[in-house]
Amino acid sequence: YGVEVRFTRAVDYGFSKNIGEAFRAWKQEELLADMVTIAREVRPEIIVSRFNDSERDGHGHHQAAGRLAKLLFRAAATGDWKPAKLY
């Protein structure tokens, strides 16, 4: 599909029970900065997240991923580009 895998500094350390626990191990601001850098390089038209920042997402890693996707959608925009949609 022409996909390139990119990584942030988040380390998969095992199971986290909730988003608070996940963000005690992962620094939200650092991860968002990593994601914004990548998004501005790649400039995707659409951002897709499997998770939506709720307890229904399951464990804390998934909840954090959903929250970060929402934050990324707003933060990634530059003067001449922004993603069109977040799913």
Token pair in block for residue 71 = 């934050």
Whose CA is closest to 26, among 34, 6, 52?
Answer: 34
| Local confidence band at 75 (pLDDT 50, 70, 90 cut-offs) | very high
Token pair in block for residue 56 = 């229904």
Predicted confidence (pLDDT) at residue 4 exceeds the cutoff of 90: no
Give the whole-number percent of the chain exceeding pLDDT 70. 100
From start to end of the chain, where are the E strands? 46-47, 85-86
Average pLDDT score, the chain: 94
* Full-model pTM: 0.90
Predicted confidence (pLDDT) at residue 73 exceeds the cutoff of 90: yes
Whether residue 59 contacts residue 17, with contact meaning beta carbons closer than 8 Å, is answered with yes
Which one is predicted more confidently, 72 or 57? 72
